[in-house]
């Protein structure tokens, strides 16, 4: 299944704030037990998937990776609350991360702790869109909360002190960080490892990270700050899809194997002498004329083809009906591989051609199938 944008949250109050913006939410269970909800951000809004990752960079990274693989989004947004690190940032303000610092990287030496910084910058286009939205104010009517665009520091602890060693560490080494939280680094890492998929971290300020968190939380600032972050995120998600969606989709259509862990199967048969190679090679690479193939070769290629078919369906390049019909035909093909008679081969070819007709709109699937058909023709 594919979507436009994945939105992840750490706390239930953050999840609720985004959930309120979803039209027609539906539950989608990942086989590993993660509950996602799918819906639209408004009747004409983009398609989103919402997930809850819990607190901390580690679960955020793992579940961001899971969501990216499952839904192939154009971008991932992280929406939640954070503590402010500068006096000019008020409770209820929103901070959009221009970059994310993983502030706990370091080395402990005899003469003290040394920083080993790690940082991820927002993608250029997402940064441009976010700043335009901040300037235009088109995300909420007046009076609206102030939105800041600047670095966010993400660590492994809830930071609620101005004078602790950790607080001094952040101020000394990550002095321009506007806000502090615990998930952005994990999500940013997941985006980076998925061919620099755009990640946008949007945080509402619910306390000042200065020892007053309990009081601010008690005054309902988490809920208000989450609502502000969710409102900004919803507007930005729609803008992102409107402005970047087409260009990213065109790029993906030109090369359907770029993106998230897709591989390309090479197959050169018959008189072919050269096979083009893209990305990772899976399945068999068969080269050279006159080398006959057997049912096992065809079965291996069909298994690979099924994976491609699934991915095309998940990416939205193949509609549900064509996918179901093609999968059923493929089941028939598999049952016919062991029939060596000319009539059996004939039926096999007819079924494969039917599948080719069903997936004909997708050039890469049709090419792949043409190669399998010639493999069947070469079968000894
Ligand atoms: N507002 C605010 N949020 C923070 C700070 N540090 C921090 O990690 N966050 C973000 C990221 C975490 O997902 C989440 C942690 O907030 P929390 O209220 O659950 O923290 P806590 O563990 O003290 O809460 P509790 O369950 O003990 O009540 O908020 C901070 O100093 N202030």
Q: Is the pLDDT of residue 213 over 90?
A: yes
Distance CA 102, CA 187 (A): 11
State the average pLDDT for the chain: 87
Higher-confidence residue of 292 and 315: namely 315
Ligand 1 pocket check for 83: Cβ under 6 Å: yes
User: Ligand 1, closest atom to CA 225?
Assistant: 1
Residue 370: burial class (beta carbons within 10 Å; 0-12, 13-18, 19+) = middle
Q: Is the pLDDT of residue 314 over 80?
A: no
ipTM for the complex? 0.91
Determine the residue of 10, 92, 158 to mutate for testing ligand 1's pocket, defined as the one with the most ligand atoms within 8 A of the Cβ atom.
Answer: 158
Residue in 214, 190, 183 with CA at minimum distance from that of residue 57: 183
10 Å Cβ neighbour count for 355? 26
pLDDT confidence bin for 245, thresholds 50/70/90:
confident
Grouping H, G, I as helix, E, B as strand and the rest as coil, residue 72 is: coil
User: Each residue of 319-349: pLDDT tens digit?
Assistant: 888 888 888 888 888 778 888 888 888 888 8
User: Ligand 1, closest atom to CA 10?
Assistant: 13
10 Å Cβ neighbour count for 87? 8
CATH of domain 5-254: 3.40.50.1580
Report the pLDDT value the prediction gives residue 329, as an integer from 0 to 100: 87
pLDDT confidence bin for 248, thresholds 50/70/90:
low
Contact by Cβ (8 Å): 50, 73: no
Give percent of the chain above pLDDT 70.
Answer: 87
Q: Where exactly are the structural domains of the chain?
A: 5-254, 295-377
Higher-confidence residue of 338 and 252: namely 338
Q: Is the pLDDT of residue 262 over 60?
A: no
Q: Where are the beta strands (DSSP E) in the chain?
A: 5-9, 22-29, 35-41, 47-52, 75-84, 94-102, 106-109, 112-115, 119-121, 147-154, 179-181, 199-207
- Using CA positions, which residue lies closest to atom 15 of ligand 1? 158
Grouping H, G, I as helix, E, B as strand and the rest as coil, residue 237 is: helix
pLDDT confidence bin for 249, thresholds 50/70/90:
low
Report the pLDDT value the prediction gives residue 252, as an integer from 0 to 100: 55
Query: Ligand 1 mean position to 52 CA, how many Å?
Result: 15
User: Each residue of 17-66: pLDDT tens digit?
Assistant: 999 999 999 999 999 999 999 999 999 999 999 999 999 999 999 999 99
Contact by Cβ (8 Å): 361, 371: no
């Amino acid at each position: 299944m594919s979507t436009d944008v994945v939105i992840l949250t750490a706390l239930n109050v953050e999840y609720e704030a985004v959930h309120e913006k979803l039209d027609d939410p539906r539950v989608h269970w990942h086989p590993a037990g993660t509950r996602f909800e799918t819906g639209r951000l408004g009747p004409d809004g983009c398609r989103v998937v919402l997930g809850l990752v819990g607190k901390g960079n580690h679960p955020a990274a793992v579940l961001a990776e899971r969501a990216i693989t499952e839904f192939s989004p154009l971008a991932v947004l992280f929406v939640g609350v954070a503590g402010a690190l500068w006096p000019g940032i008020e409770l209820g303000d929103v901070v959009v991360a221009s970059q994310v610092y993983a502030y706990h990287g370091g080395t402990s030496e005899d003469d003290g702790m040394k920083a080993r910084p790690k940082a991820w910058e927002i993608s250029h286009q997402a940064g441009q869109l976010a700043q335009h939205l901040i300037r235009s104010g088109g995300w909420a009517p007046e009076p609206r909360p102030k939105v800041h665009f600047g670095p966010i520091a993400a660590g492994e602890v809830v930071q609620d002190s101005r004078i602790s060693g950790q607080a001094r560490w952040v101020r000394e080494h990550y002095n321009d960080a506007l806000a502090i939280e615990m998930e952005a680094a994990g999500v940013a890492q997941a985006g980076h490892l998925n061919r620099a998929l755009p990640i946008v971290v949007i945080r509402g300020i619910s306390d000042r990270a200065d020892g007053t968190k309990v009081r601010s939380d008690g005054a309902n600032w988490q809920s208000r700050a989450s609502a502000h972050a969710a409102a900004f995120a919803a507007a930005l998600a729609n803008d992102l899809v409107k402005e970047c969606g087409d260009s990213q989709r065109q790029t993906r259509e030109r090369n359907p194997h770029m993106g998230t862990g897709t591989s390309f199967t090479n197959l050169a048969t018959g008189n072919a002498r050269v096979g083009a190679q893209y990305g990772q090679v899976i399945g068999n690479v068969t080269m050279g004329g006159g080398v006959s193939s057997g049912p096992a070769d065809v079965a291996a290629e069909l298994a690979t083809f099924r994976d491609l078919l699934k991915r095309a369906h998940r990416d939205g390049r193949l509609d549900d009906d064509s996918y179901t019909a093609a999968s059923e035909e493929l089941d028939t093909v598999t049952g016919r591989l062991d029939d060596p008679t000319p009539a059996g081969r004939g039926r096999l070819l007819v079924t494969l051609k039917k599948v080719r007709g069903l997936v004909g709109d997708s050039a890469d699937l049709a090419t792949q199938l043409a190669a399998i058909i010639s493999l069947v023709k070469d079968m000894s």
